[in-house]
């Protein structure tokens, strides 16, 4: 097993494109026990994940672990494309969905460091379309909704043909006690919602407005968003939302360049994240993993309840946003990446904003992002957790019921991907998989099995 592990690391380096003159730009590998891991306990991790392929929980995936700046585990499991018999590779490209969010928040904080943004400024100072936002009065009621349309209809909608986005009459709105700030947008406390996780009147209005449509660009997105009421008063509640898409527009306005260009020039190229972006180059298309879905999802949406756990290729609409015709380069989702690339991003954060002599943030900025910015508010996404500026934060591992360290940064994606950064243990974990809607515990199982193998 030890030999096979070393072989896996060598495969990882070869497929990642490592050659001698680029070796300094790769995270160096080291035997696990040199970094406090028990080989036999790491074998449990690989065996468990392979068993989850065998029982059909996943078609394929990859896990990687870095400790003290050394890659100690990199293993693929199963197939990248079952139907075409393509095995999962170390250079397989994944749709990382909401793991896009921390990257966008880093971009915002880079502009903050340059003195171009202040956290306590109203977001409307930079995005006028979001000025004078109102809050929906939840004591009011909407007329009966005849049809909100399927996800396919929403994604295929022409933005010019989308219906008016006004919600009810003026009596259903009330002035916001205060306008949302940049900090609110970074912490999901601005009062926005997402439109796909709930069925409140504001969620319904988001769907009617076509805010999920990849046909919209970020400017059109904020124009429509600004016509809709907030779900909650700013600063009063943590609520997962389109706030990071707003961050994406903020980056565009303040930097004067499209979001994808900013990310490429200021983050991906400096950190040598060579396979990360919003679209797949044609020559890399064969490396993009097939995305799967539980049988019976059809066109009812990413977050529909599956009929069973048997996985089949996901409907075509899942890839609508990754086609070249799509215009919605979103701050909150849409990036594709590899395990290698995302490890490099995480290592830069763990290093205080620097990797291989390239600095994207200062250490004090990373420290600021890593603090709990919710105060007395509760982060409802997970017990024992809080939220910083773009990252989820583990505050109380006992309350969360999982192994980890206080101060750990993390987030995940809708297809089951997840990462965490543990400053106390100088540990990074990245887990990649591709099925949506994702209702498994694979990422949590991966994390538990990593920590049970850490003995020093």
CB-based contact 181:234 (threshold 8 Å) = yes
- pLDDT computed for residue 326 by the predictor: 62
Provide the token pair at 450: 């990593």
Provide the token pair at 302: 């990413």
Q: Which residues does 263 contact at the CB level (< 8 Å), separation at least 6? A: 103, 104, 107, 277
- H/E segment holding residue 10: helix 2-15
- pLDDT computed for residue 140 by the predictor: 61
**Distances 70 to 227, 343, 450, 452 between C-alpha atoms, Å:** 49, 11, 15, 18
Could you report the per-residue pLDDT of 23-65, keeping only the tens digit for each?
A: 347 999 999 999 999 999 999 999 999 999 999 999 999 999 9
Domains of the chain: 2-100+265-295+319-452 (3.40.710.10), 102-110+117-255 (3.40.710.10)
- H/E segment holding residue 346: helix 339-350
Looking at the predicted structure, is the pLDDT value of residue 158 above 80?
no
- pLDDT computed for residue 199 by the predictor: 80
Looking at the predicted structure, is the pLDDT value of residue 320 above 80?
no
Looking at the predicted structure, is the pLDDT value of residue 371 above 90?
yes
Pick from 415, 309, 412, 422: nearest CA to 92: 415
* 326: Cα separation from own chain's centroid: 19
* 375: Cα separation from own chain's centroid: 23
- pLDDT computed for residue 198 by the predictor: 82
- Name the pLDDT band for 89 (thresholds 50, 70, 90): very high
Could you report the per-residue pLDDT of 99-133, keeping only the tens digit for each?
A: 999 999 999 999 999 999 999 999 999 999 999 99
CB-based contact 189:236 (threshold 8 Å) = yes
Residue 106, helix vs strand vs coil: helix
Could you report the per-residue pLDDT of 175-198, keeping only the tens digit for each?
A: 999 999 999 999 999 999 998 888
- How far apart CA 151 and CA 235 sit, in angstroms, is 31
What is the b/e burial string over 121-140, where b = at least 16 CB atoms within 10 angstroms of the residue's CB?
A: ebbbebbebbeebbbbeeee
Could you report the per-residue pLDDT of 382-404, keeping only the tens digit for each?
A: 999 999 999 999 999 999 999 99
- Name the pLDDT band for 204 (thresholds 50, 70, 90): confident
């Amino acid at each position: 097993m030890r030999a096979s592990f070393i072989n896996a690391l060598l495969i990882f380096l070869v497929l990642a494109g490592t050659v001698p003159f680029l070796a300094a730009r790769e995270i160096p590998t080291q035997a696990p026990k040199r970094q406090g891991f028990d080989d036999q306990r790491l074998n449990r991790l690989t065996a468990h994940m392979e068993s989850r392929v065998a029982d059909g929980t996943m078609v394929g995936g990859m896990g990687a672990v870095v400790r003290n700046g050394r890659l100690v585990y990199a293993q693929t499991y199963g197939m990248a494309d079952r139907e075409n018999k393509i095995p999962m590779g170390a250079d397989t490209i994944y749709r990382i969905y909401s793991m896009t969010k921390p990257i966008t928040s880093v971009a915002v904080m880079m502009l903050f460091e340059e003195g171009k943004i202040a956290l306590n400024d109203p977001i409307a100072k930079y995005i006028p379309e979001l000025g004078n936002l109102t809050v929906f009065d939840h004591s009011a009621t909407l007329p009966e909704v005849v049809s909100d349309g399927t996800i396919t209809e929403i994604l295929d909608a022409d933005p010019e043909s989308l219906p008016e986005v006004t919600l009810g009459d003026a009596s259903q709105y009330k002035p916001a006690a205060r306008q949302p700030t940049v900090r609110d947008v970074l912490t999901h406390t601005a009062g926005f919602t997402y439109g796909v996780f709930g069925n409140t009147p504001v969620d319904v209005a988001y769907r009617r407005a076509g805010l999920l449509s990849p046909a919209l660009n970020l400017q059109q997105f904020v124009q429509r968003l600004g016509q809709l009421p907030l779900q909650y008063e700013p600063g009063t509640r943590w609520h997962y939302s389109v706030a990071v898409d707003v961050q994406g527009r903020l980056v565009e306005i303040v930097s004067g360049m499209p979001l994808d260009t900013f990310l490429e020039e200021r983050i991906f190229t400096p950190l040598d994240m060579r396979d990360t972006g919003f679209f797949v180059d044609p020559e890399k298309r064969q490396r993009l993993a097939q995305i799967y879905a539980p049988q019976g999802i059809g066109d009812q949406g990413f977050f529909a309840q599956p009929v069973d756990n048997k996985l089949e290729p996901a409907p075509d609409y899942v890839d609508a946003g990754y086609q070249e015709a799509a215009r919605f380069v979103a701050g909150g989702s849409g990036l594709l990446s590899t395990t290698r690339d995302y490890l490099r991003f995480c290592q830069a954060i763990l290093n205080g904003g620097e990797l291989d002599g390239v600095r994207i943030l200062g250490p004090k900025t990373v420290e600021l992002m890593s603090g709990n910015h919710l105060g007395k508010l509760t982060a409802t996404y997970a017990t024992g957790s809080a939220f910083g500026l773009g990252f989820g934060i583990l505050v109380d591992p006992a309350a969360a019921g999982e192994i980890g360290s206080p101060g750990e940064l993390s987030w995940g994606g809708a297809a089951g991907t997840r990462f965490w950064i543990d400053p106390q243990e100088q540990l990074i974990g990245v887990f990649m998989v591709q099925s949506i809607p994702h209702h498994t515990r694979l990422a949590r199982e991966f994390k538990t099995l990593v920590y049970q193998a850490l003995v020093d």
